[in-house]
Amino acid sequence: MKKKALVAAVLAATTLSATPAFAETNPFTDVPADHWSYEALAMLAKDGVLEGYGDGTFQGDNLMNRYEMAEVVARAAEKYGTAAPRDKGAINDLEKEYAQELKDMEVRLAKAENEVAHMKKMQSTFKMWGDARMRFIANKNGKAVKAVRGNTDTTTSTYNQWNTKNNSELRLRLGFYGEPAPNLSVNGRLKVENGNIAREDYDSGHDAGKGDEKMNLDKLQLDWHAKNGFTVSAGRNELSLGQGLIYWENPVDGLMVQKDFGDKIHLMAGLGDTSCATWTNNAGLATFANLSAKVSPAVTVTAAYFNQHSDTAKWTDAFASWDGGKSWSKKGVTTTFDFRQLALGVHAQLADKWSLIAEGVKNSADPNQKYDATGNFISSNDKHDKGFWTRLTYGKQDWSKANTWQLYGEYFSFGGLAIDSTGWPHRLNIAGGNGYGGQGARGYGLGVSYMVANNTNLDVTYYKMKPYDRNLACFDDYEDMGYAALTYSF
């Protein structure tokens, strides 16, 4: 009994501080009181290989089971190198006797270590970030007219979906990223926007100059990085198509699957609801696909497809029509949110400081919404279904380095049904027209982007535009457009 009490004291010292994984209920049977293991452990304790504390925390009359014995043997084995020859022999015999239990302990220990390592990895992969932007946009929604064909009155007249609209806008975004499990990552973002509206002609149902503050969950994307280059994304995903003329870095609620063929070819397809990006209360159910191929170290080509139909998402465009030079009248035209777009694009690094983006798009949804200057529907031709955009840049801007910069020039031509100039989910700095189903736009723009400090950017642009088809529009030009934006990230 004295030997058992000594071993029990050692057991108390070794097991009471064990990890939770070793404190689980185990199926091992008790070691009989006359088993030689007690004798061997008592000798090891007497020789100082094992150290115990006789504090009464463990009842010496209790038998130990085989798993508890194995724990004590494992502790003794840690001092094998400094043990006397007879103690080494005892340790070897004990390890053979409890080999299965020791193996089970190693498995449990490995599992516990993996769990701890995973928790540490989760902590190390969790990141938070953010950015803020202050922006002023002049003539955001396309006020016309500087000159009206056939009108002897030189007074500027309003012709667009929302009348004049100049905006001072504030935006704050806070994002987070983490990896909750192997091959699984989550990416989320909260966004707050404020638009202080300044209009010359504001609807009586609104409060001019009122700050329109909105907070929303801009992204909550769960990515499963499967084998063989597949990634499955679910939730509120961030979607980019082609070079950005159709859809660029805007949310979509749905499912996306991407397959990477090495680092040169990427294929993606998905479906979801785009109403979270296009400012409408109606669901915009869409299917989409994207192909990106790096055909040379300097050239990447893209093909993008976007198909969306929402018969309930309609709005009325109020526009002015000319009636012989005497007066202006308003007429409503109902437009359906309807797209079946195919876009082909290219991004080329022409030289060290020169790069080019170009993309063309055709919307073949054929919504039969084209109309002439008097508001009458015209035939369903494809004249207003096409669009084209190109941007030439010069400079080497690095977001992380102050005093780096780039200059860029743009040319574009969009029919009123080519792109979404109402929801504005694309990459362009301007809407690209005076509303979907409107008169479209063609023209050019100039811009400069300058890093005033590390992670702090100033972007200033100017755009000169006219309607896509001046023969069908009842005006000749849009007023000049442009914006200045200060953006910083943290």
Q: Give the residue-averaged pLDDT of 276-292.
A: 82
pLDDT of amino acid 57: 31
| Structure-model confidence comparison of residues 283 and 346, the more confident one | 346
Model confidence at 146: pLDDT above 90: no
Q: What is the pLDDT of residues 54-91, one digit of tens each?
A: 433 333 456 788 888 888 888 888 888 888 888 888 88
Q: What is the pLDDT at residue 214? A: 72
Question: With bands split at pLDDT 50, 70 and 90, how would you rate the model's confidence at 43?
Answer: confident
Task: Give the highest mean pLDDT range of 42-51, 271-280, 392-401, 476-485.
Answer: 392-401
pLDDT category, 358, cuts 50, 70, 90? Answer: very high
Q: Looking at residues 128-146, what average pLDDT do you find?
A: 84
Predicted local confidence at residue 283, as pLDDT: 65
Q: Is pLDDT larger for residue 5 or for residue 144? A: 144
* Contact between residue 2 and residue 52 where contact means Cβ atoms under 8 Å apart: no
Predicted pLDDT at 230: 96
Q: How far apart are CA 42 and CA 11, in angstroms?
A: 11
Distances (CA, A) of 268 to 235, 347, 361: 16, 18, 18
Average pLDDT, the chain: 78
Task: Place 216 in a pLDDT band, splitting at 50, 70 and 90.
Answer: confident
Band of pLDDT at residue 387, cut at 50, 70 and 90: very high
Residues 143 and 158: their CA atoms lie apart, in Å, by 6
* 324 vs 451, more confident: 451
The pairing of strands 250-261 and 166-181 is unpaired
Q: For position 315, what pLDDT does the model report?
A: 44
CA 160 – CA 375 distance, rounded (Å): 13
Rounded CA-CA distance 364/315 in Å is 20
User: Partners of 457 in the beta sheet?
Assistant: 451, 487
Q: Which of residues 159 and 443 earns the better pLDDT score?
A: 443
Please give the residue that has the higher pLDDT: either 229 or 213: 229
The mean per-residue pLDDT over the stretch 372-376 comes to 46
Residue 279 has what pLDDT? Answer: 58
Mean pLDDT of 34-52: 82
d(CA 141, CA 159): 10
Q: Rounded mean pLDDT of 299-306?
A: 98
Selection from 206, 217, 218, 220 nearest residue 178 by Cα: 220
Using 50, 70 and 90 to split pLDDT, how confident is the model at 193? Answer: confident
CB atoms within 10 A of CB 297: 8
Bridge partner residues of 314 (DSSP): 336
Percentage of the residues of the chain whose pLDDT score is greater than 90: 39
Whole-number Cα distances in Å, 330 to 252, 321, 369: 35, 7, 17
Q: What is the pTM of this model?
A: 0.69
The pLDDT-based confidence of 1 (bands split at 50, 70, 90) is very low
CA distances from 84 to 6, 46, 89, 268 (A): 20, 12, 9, 67
| 247 touches 425 (CB < 8 A) | yes
Spatial distance between the Cα atoms of 484 and 460, rounded to a whole number of angstroms = 4
The set of residues, in sequence order, having a beta carbon less than 8 Å from that of 62 and lying 6+ positions away, is 8
Mean pLDDT across the stretch 216-238?
94
The pLDDT value given to residue 190: 94
CA distance 402 to 335: 46
pLDDT value of position 292: 98
pLDDT higher for 42 or 113?
42
Given a cut of 50, is residue 248 above it in pLDDT?
Answer: yes
Q: Name the pLDDT band for 423 (thresholds 50, 70, 90).
A: confident
With bands split at pLDDT 50, 70 and 90, how would you rate the model's confidence at 104? confident
Give residue-wise pLDDT tens across range 468-484: 987 777 778 888 999 89
128-489: CATH class: mainly beta
Question: Which residues sit opposite 356 in a β-bridge?
Answer: 348, 392
Euclidean distance between CA atoms 30 and 33, whole angstroms: 9
pLDDT at 404: 97
pLDDT in tens, 48-62: 888 753 433 333 456
Packing angle of the helix pair 85-97, 99-125 (nearest 10 deg): 80
- The residue ranking higher by pLDDT, 111 or 185, is 185
pLDDT above 80 for 244: yes
User: Is residue 400 pLDDT above 80, yes or no?
Assistant: yes
Residues of the chain with CATH 2.40.160.10: 128-489
DSSP 20-75: GGGGS---PPBPPTT-HHHHHHHHHHHTTSS----SSSS-TTSPPBHHHHHHHHHH
Q: pLDDT value at position 45?
A: 83
Q: What is the crossing angle of helices 36-46 and 85-97, to 10°?
A: 140
Report the pLDDT value the prediction gives residue 409, as an integer from 0 to 100. 98
SS (H, E, C) 152-176: CCCCCCCCCCCCCCEEEEEEEEEEE
Picking from 121, 157, 299, 140, the residue whose alpha carbon sits closest to that of residue 212 is: 140
Tell me the residue type at 89: G
Least confident of 124-128, 301-305, 378-382: 378-382
Per-residue model confidence (pLDDT) at position 84 = 87
